[in-house]
Structure 1
Amino acid sequence: MRLTPLALAMAVTLPAHAATLIDNANGYTLNSTGQLVRFTSLAYDDAGRILAVGSARAVAKSAPNAKRIDMQGKTVLPGLIDAHGHVFGLGEISTAVLLYGTPSLDAALTAVADFSKAHPQRAWVLGNGWNQEIWKLGRFPTAQELDSVIPERPAVMTRVDGHAVWANTRALQLAGITNDTKDPAGGKIERDAQGNATGILVDAAMELVRAAIPKPTEAEARASLDGALAELAKVGLTSVHDAGIGVPEDRLMRSYADNGKLTARVYAMIGDTTADFDQLSQGGPVTSYANDLYALAAVKLYSDGALGSRGAALIAPYSDAPHTHGLLFYNDADMRAKMEKAMKAGYQVNVHAIGDAGNRQILDGYAALLKRYPQAARARHRIEHAQVVAPADIPRFKALNIIPSMQPTHATSDQNMAEQRVGPQRIKGAYAWRTFLKQGSTIACGSDFPIESPNPFEGLHAAVTRQDNAGVPTGGWYRNEAMTLQQAFRCFTLDAAYAAHQEKAIGSLEKGKWADFIVTDADLFKVPAANIGKIQVLQTWVAGRQVYSKP
């Protein structure tokens, strides 16, 4: 993934007009009931609020003195929304080793060595994206293997799912991790047959080494945010839900919003209910800041780990590793206490749950707490990922009005190992989008960037075809759980907005909403499904201001 500072460089402030009229467009939007609507013109006022959408004649009457912009028949869509990403993480990968898609351990080690040589000033060498399943190792890599290319400086490489790190010996030493270090609650230090730490730290154990990594400077944080915003604008994302921030990130987001530099709307979740929550929640949830550019009204918690690293908590043992069930981060009482603390403070509670045991723990917690605090149901609580769910638990999402916040590209990325992990029966409750939709659940779609590409058209493609970017597998992986194109489009627009209580402000192009829209090089509703992921964004507009134009 190549990050460029295009979004901020291309940002322009339009001259003041009573209104602006977008004309001669091949436009598509959803209305308030989710029906697909065509339009050729759109008008908005100088504040960026939509005045009218429809035919050229009808819209012109609503904005007679408007400045006209001719779209020359190009396709115009509502700005797309990613309901689960990590904004600063997206920016940070531009300054780290990129191991995404490396075909072998040797290729990954070469990439680390090349980066290390090119950046001799880096005190720590950090990277992202390795996946031992692609390497066909049949095991995790080791610290000694990483030592072979970078022995002197500490090096830490994060797995593709973000739930395991691969550290070299120097990093383990600086973190104080020895063969005698005990596994932390909710985490695991991988060990060899002799009980020696191998260099792989899973879930909560990752924090042992991350605590030793120097915190980013403010300049580095600004560079990360600039890089992320550039990439989001480039792929047509006008709004994102940031799944876990703290005090420094909140401060920087507000500063960018205040100074007109936040070129995508951010609905942020406070990471955990610890010290940062205590500080950030003093004034209660922030539902709208700087004309809906920023909100801080949710809390992000973790129930378990990820499937690829076998950290996801399963009710029965892993099919390909019968000695383990994975890891619940907290016991039921402690998990419920965190949920209750956020809920009582008025926040939407969004909990990461991948395995069926993790999902069940959180559903049980919601059932008990919503019975105790029925008014809290209005917060539209969510389970992030809802990836492997016991079939008997799927109806509970609807009964409790819990939103499954799901990432279509997770399914197409995980197809190479998911069924090995859970077997042929449990896989029927995994990535079960159609099943959730049939029962009336509202799915909020996202990508979990930078774990997956932030490009929402790749997500739309995966949702509709159940295939990866290369068209694998033929016919789609468990195609019976695919979405229709309109369902997927709604999932990345109106329903993602609903999951943030923002459906009256964004998510579709309707009178009174913000003029957040994109212009694309192809018609989403006419291209073959196989080509959806290849659609390119030509322009991105937020509140009627252009924040990106394809060079």
Structure 2
Amino acid sequence: ENCKSFDEIVETMKAFAELNHIGADSVIMGVSYDQNSLAEGRHPNRHVLDQVSTEIPVVAIHASSHMLVANTRLLELTGITAETADPEGGRYGREADGVTPDGYCEEPNAMWPVFGQVQPRQKFDMDQLIIQMQQVYTEHGITTCQEGATTADQLAMFAGFAKKGLLKMDVVSYPMHGEDVDKMLADYAEFDSRDYTGHLRIGGLKMSSTAPAGPHRVDDRALRARRRGRGLLRLRHDLRR
């Protein structure tokens, strides 16, 4: 997020890769870029990230977490080609010919295939990482955070942190609708509470849709939430404006 130009992004990611001895079986990842803060005033593309590496997968994730950019190697591993159609609710950036992917992926349905290649390549000591991340937050006076689209694997990870006493901040989890949320709530019932257990609790469910949800579906989710003593917040976005 501190980079102010494409050149700085390339230099920073190359330095990170060299410092951490990242090889072709891993991935180089940058987070929180904002095109509005870059001198170029636009998103980077695969050609920019190819300057970091053409052999190692490289990904830069937007500050909003709703967009990312992949280098050519990562696009190849993911199988995103000129023949790949835009997914429902998502979009792939294209080059001047209108078909060749430029590495830009917008919204979760376009991003998940990339993450499917990135996540198995990540090599972290997660216990040490969560301790270090919390230090950054607390040094800035932040004592509560949330994971707004929690997967089953992520909830298992957070529950593990809580049970090992590694959470010093309060963490609120919102399991993502589309996962097996009923199983998640059953497996981690001790955290499905208004109170924190080991600094972790489930605060509700994350739902998103690119089309109107039918009344029966909404009513069923609302009823189940009410039975759990949860309030409801309805947000309506008119995308036609």
The SS at the match of 1:209 is: helix
C-alpha separation in 1, matches of 2:118 and 2:36:
27
Q: Quick one: distance in 1 between partners of 2:121 and 2:73?
A: 20
Q: Indicate how the Cα distance of structure 1 residues 333 and 161 shifts in structure 2: closer, same or farther if over 3 A, else same.
A: same
Asked if 1 retains the 8 angstrom alpha-carbon contact of 2:165 and 2:198, the reply is no
1:333 aligns with 2:237: no
Contact 2:162–2:198 (Cα < 8 Å) also in 1: no
Identify which of 143, 151, 154 aligns with 1:249. Answer: 154
Higher relative contact order (CA 8 A, sep 6+): 1
- Confirm whether residue 299 of structure 1 aligns to residue 170 of structure 2: no
> Which runs of structure 2 are paired with 1:524-543 in the superposition (5 Å)?
none
1:152 to 41, 45, 55: 55
Distance 1:102 1:293, change over 3 A: closer
Contact preservation (8 Å) 2:49, 2:71: yes
CA contact (8 A) 2:95 2:101 kept: yes
State yes or no: 1:173 paired with 2:173: no
Unmatched tracts of structure 1, length 5 or more: 1-99, 303-328, 347-374, 391-425, 427-551
Q: CA deviation at 1:217?
A: 7.5
Counterpart in the other structure of 1:260: 165
Task: Tell which structure's C-alpha radius of gyration is larger.
Answer: 1
Pairing partner for 1:132 from 30, 35, 47: 35
**Aligned counterparts of 1:219 and 1:117: Cα–Cα separation in 2:** 16
1:83-162 to 2 correspondence within 5 Å?
100-122=1-23, 123-162=26-65
Distance verdict in 2 for CA 1:291–1:211, change over 3 Å:
closer
Percent identity reads: 20
Tell me which of 222, 225, 230 is aligned to 1:343.
222
Does the Cα contact within 8 Å between 1:187 and 1:205 map onto a contact in 2?
A: yes
Give how far 1:134 is off: 2.1
Report the equivalent of 1:501: none
Per-residue deviation, 1:208: 1.8
- Return the alpha-carbon distance in structure 1 between the equivalents of residues 173 and 131 of structure 2: 17
Residue 341 to residue 259, structure 1, CA distance change in 2 (3 Å): same
TM-score, normalised relative to structure 2: 0.80
- Structure number with higher strand proportion: 1
Q: Partner amino acid for 2:192?
A: V
Q: For 1:179-258, what aligned pairs fall within 5 Å after superposition? A: 179-195=82-98, 196-203=100-107, 204-215=109-120, 220-258=125-163
Task: Tell me, yes or no, if the aligned pair for 1:288 and 1:294 is still in contact at 8 Å.
Answer: no
Change (3 A) 1:176 1:381: same
**In the comparison of the two structures, how many residue pairs are matched?**
233
Give CA-to-partner distance per residue, 1:457-509, whole Å, 9 cap, x none: xxxxxxxxxxxxxxxxxxxxxxxxxxxxxxxxxxxxxxxxxxxxxxxxxxxxx
CA separation in 1, counterparts of 2:17 and 2:169? Answer: 33
Most deviating of 283-292 and 175-184: 283-292
How big is the alpha-carbon RMSD for the aligned residues of Structure 1 and Structure 2?
A: 3.1
Distance 1:119 1:260, change over 3 A: closer
Question: Offset of 1:337 from its aligned partner?
Answer: 6.9
Cα distance 1:176–1:213, how it changes in 2: closer, same or farther (>3 A)? same
Q: Would the alpha carbon gap of residues 166 and 256 (structure 1) be closer, same or farther in structure 2, given more than 3 Å must change?
A: closer
| Cα displacement string for residues 276-330 of structure 1 (whole angstroms, at most 9, x for unaligned residues) | x13213376811566573222411123xxxxxxxxxxxxxxxxxxxxxxxxxx52
Residues 332 and 155 (structure 1 numbering): CA distance in 2 closer, same or farther, change over 3 Å? same
